[in-house]
């Protein structure tokens, strides 16, 4: 973690800890929908069930809340990719990764939107994290994919663009959910829809790599 410190809970009381957590949750929901400028401290406070001034006691400023929310999601956000293991079966590893990403789109859509929002606006606050932590992670994982290619276990493809494709296809279901609902009447909350979505992504990726889909799809 470079730009944003993920946790600095030194000596916080139970109630402080709990209130901070409630604020972060509320902030996540608000920021992810309305962007930074579009959300007010008042709204966050209301959503967290406390007064505006009380909230300002826990966080000194609006941007402090925003950065805390951002830092809070980063770890869980980057986690699935860390699991890609070069020693395992490529089809299994990638199926698992896609499944994890789709699960996050389904269960943590606000996190996805907040991240999208931040990047869409030029990533002013998490640029350092992207350039350092995430860059290192990507360099490591593209090597994993490249070695699968070198070993002849998957067809040749550009590893970075493959990862971008997986990111975009899976996150799309969270970030563009209103459009998806408008067009299909369904979302990832619908189990069948979610299965079809995941199957489609899985199929595109695996067949692009010359792999067959495994029978049990959630590795």
Partner DNA sequence: GTCTATACCCGGATAGAC
Partner DNA sequence: GTCTATCCGGGTATAGAC
What residues make contact with DNA under the rule CB under 7 A?
13, 15-16, 19, 39-42, 50-54, 56-58, 60-63
If one asks whether residue 150 binds a copy of itself (CB under 8 A), the answer comes out as: no
Residues in the chain, how many? 219
How far apart are the C-alpha atoms of 162 and 2, rounded to whole Å? Answer: 26
If one asks whether residue 61 binds a copy of itself (CB under 8 A), the answer comes out as: no
Closest of 49, 43, 12, 15 to residue 27, by C-alpha: 43
If one asks whether residue 63 binds a copy of itself (CB under 8 A), the answer comes out as: no
| Contacting range for a copy of itself; rule: CB under 8 A; set: 49-57, 82-90, 91-99, 156-164 | 156-164
By a kind-dependent CB cut-off of 5 to 8 A, residue 62 interacts, out of DNA, a copy of itself, none, with DNA
3-state helix, strand, coil in the chain (%, to 5): 70, 0, 30
Under 8 Å CB-to-CB from 29, ≥6 apart: which residues? Answer: 47, 110
By a kind-dependent CB cut-off of 5 to 8 A, residue 52 interacts, out of a copy of itself, DNA, none, with DNA
CB-based burial of residue 149 (10 Å sphere; 0-12 exposed, 13-18 middle, 19+ buried)? middle
Using only C-alpha atoms, what is the Rg of the chain?
19
Minimum CB–partner distance for residue 124 and a copy of itself (Å)? 9
Q: Which is nearer to a copy of itself, 37 or 215 (CB)?
A: 37
Q: What is the dihedral of CA 96, 93, 6, 28, to 10 degrees?
A: -30
Minimum CB–partner distance for residue 11 and a copy of itself (Å)? 35
Residues in the site for a copy of itself, rule: CB under 8 A?
Answer: 33-38, 113, 116-117, 119-123, 127, 130-131, 134-135, 138, 157-158, 160-162, 164-165, 167-169, 171-173, 175-176, 178-180, 182-184, 196-197, 199-201, 203-205, 207-208, 210
């Amino acid at each position: 973690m470079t730009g944003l410190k993920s946790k600095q809970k030194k000596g916080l009381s139970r109630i402080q800890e709990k209130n901070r957590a409630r604020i972060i949750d509320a902030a996540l929901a608000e920021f992810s929908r309305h962007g930074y400028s579009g959300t007010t401290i008042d709204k966050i406070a209301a959503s967290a069930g406390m007064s505006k001034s009380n909230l300002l006691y826990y966080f000194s400023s609006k941007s402090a809340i925003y950065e805390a929310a951002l830092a809070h999601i980063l770890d869980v956000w980057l986690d699935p990719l860390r699991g890609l293991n070069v020693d395992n079966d490529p089809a299994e590893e990638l199926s698992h990764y896609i499944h994890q990403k789709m699960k996050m789109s389904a269960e943590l859509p606000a996190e996805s939107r907040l991240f999208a929002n931040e990047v869409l606006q030029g990533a002013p606050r998490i640029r350092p994290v992207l350039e350092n932590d995430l860059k290192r992670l990507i360099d490591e994982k593209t090597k994993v994919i490249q070695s699968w290619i070198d070993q002849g276990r998957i067809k040749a493809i550009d590893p970075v663009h493959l990862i971008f494709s997986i990111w975009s296809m899976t996150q799309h279901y969270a970030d563009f959910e209103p459009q998806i609902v408008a067009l299909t009447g369904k979302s990832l909350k619908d189990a069948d829809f979610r299965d079809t979505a995941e199957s489609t992504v899985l199929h595109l990726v695996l067949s692009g790599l010359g792999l067959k889909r495994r029978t049990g799809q959630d590795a």
